Chains A and B, each alone.
Chain A
Amino acid sequence: MKTLPRLCQAACGWAQGHPWQAGAALLVLMAWPPARQWLEASMWRHMLLQFPLLMLGGVLLTAALPARGRAMVARWNAHGISGLVLTALVLAVLMVPRVLDLALLRPSVEIAKCLALLAAGAALRLSWGPAGRIVQGFFLGNVLPMMAVVGQLYIDSPLRLCNAYLLDDQVRLGQWLIACASAIALLWLAEVGWWAVRRENRPGTQP
């Protein structure tokens, strides 16, 4: 019974030491047809499991970027603005319900979708730190309400928005989208609050 947690622990430990290899392994695993089919067989797994996992792959792959590449990206990415714009736009476009259907029907759209999510993950990784809290807040203030509104639309629609998925699946996706958007917002606010409290308590600094 204890093998699985140990295995996970070992895998996580290895991934921390070898981030881009872990990213590549994750992507290979997700390209494996049975895994892909399982992820795309349901609407909520397609959007709320496959999308973030692909972004995680992008995040991990940035570890392979040499310092020169990072410096070049940074020149085009002051305060992480371009990167966060990229991530927000990718997420906005991919929330159009037609994308989910087209990704199942057309390999070209599927590949474009995966590449866009990898790019979005990588851009998020390279931009989140430089962005600072104001730009971060602006980014989340756009993306999270969009997620919640799309989620509400999925819940409220009496029709199936994707031909390939069932109505109850769509409702569940909508509920999870709202839950995830709320959770991310709370986490970020908690982090900002924690940072503000620590800054105030630090001796010798003005609040």
Chain B
Amino acid sequence: MLRTALASALLLLCAWATARWLTYDFQAWTDEGARRLEVALRPVAAPAVTVQGPGLDRASLSAVLQQGGVTIADFFYTRCQTVCLSLGSSFQQLQAGLQAEPNPGVRLLSISFDGAHDTPDALQDYAAKLGASPGLWRMVRVPDSAQQSLLLQSLGVVVVPNPPGDFEHNAALLVFDARGRVVRVFDLEERQLALNYARHLARTPSP
């Protein structure tokens, strides 16, 4: 009986340690929560990928991020009828907020994960439809599909096909600092928080 008690106690300890590791000290129960915690603890640099969009003929993503100061980015695809529409309107409101101030130091970037379909022309049409102001809100795609997968993977974006013809993804607002690293991931609903955080980041010089 003593051995059984010992074995059970040992098993409990192992399970507790595993659960603690799995949930970041019981803070994150989902992988999305863990991803956000990880980003906040250790900023993730954007990988070396080439992007392309209206008014932008193939540049590296980090160059695009660094010239814009602080960037709030999202992932989308133009054929989307569901969550991206709310992302679109979310970004429209962010843009309105930024337009209200003279020199915000914050820009918006929408990255398509449907690079095969979202050509620069398609992006141009979409940007026009949403009223994106070119100096403030840029739309790009990653033309190379291997690079696109690399980008999604390193930023923890998971795209699931949702038949017929749709995609589901963990839509969120990614805040990049001036050095092109993701420093925080916000919920779509936390738009104001993301904006305030980005403004704060733009005002404080990075160490």
Interface of A is mostly: helix
Check A76 for interface membership: any CB of B closer than 8 A: yes
The residues of A that contact B160 with a CB separation of less than 8 Å are 163-166
Check A161 for interface membership: any CB of B closer than 8 A: yes
Docked complex Cα distance between A165 and B29 (Å): 15
Check B30 for interface membership: any CB of A closer than 8 A: yes
How many chain A residues have a CB neighbour from B under 8 Å?
A: 28
The residues of A that contact B48 with a CB separation of less than 8 Å are none
Question: Which residues in window 1-21 of B have CB below 8 A to A?
Answer: 1, 3-4, 6-8, 11-12, 14-15, 18-19
A residues at B contact (CB < 8 Å):
75-79, 81-82, 85-86, 89-90, 92-93, 96-99, 101-102, 105, 160-167
**Are A78 and B31 in contact, CB atoms less than 8 angstroms apart?**
no
The residues of B that contact A160 with a CB separation of less than 8 Å are 32, 168, 170
B residues at A contact (CB < 8 Å):
1, 3-4, 6-8, 11-12, 14-15, 18-19, 22-23, 28-34, 156, 158, 160, 162, 168-170
Excluding A82-B11, A92-B19, 9 further A-B contacts by CB distance (< 8 Å) are A76-B6, A85-B7, A93-B15, A93-B19, A97-B29, A99-B22, A101-B158, A160-B168, A163-B170
**Are A96 and B7 in contact, CB atoms less than 8 angstroms apart?**
no
Docked complex Cα distance between A77 and B168 (Å): 47
**Are A162 and B30 in contact, CB atoms less than 8 angstroms apart?**
yes
Whether A89 contacts B12 in the complex (CB less than 8 A), given A162-B31, A163-B170, A164-B158, comes out as yes
The residues of A that contact B170 with a CB separation of less than 8 Å are 160, 163
The residues of B that contact A92 with a CB separation of less than 8 Å are 15, 19
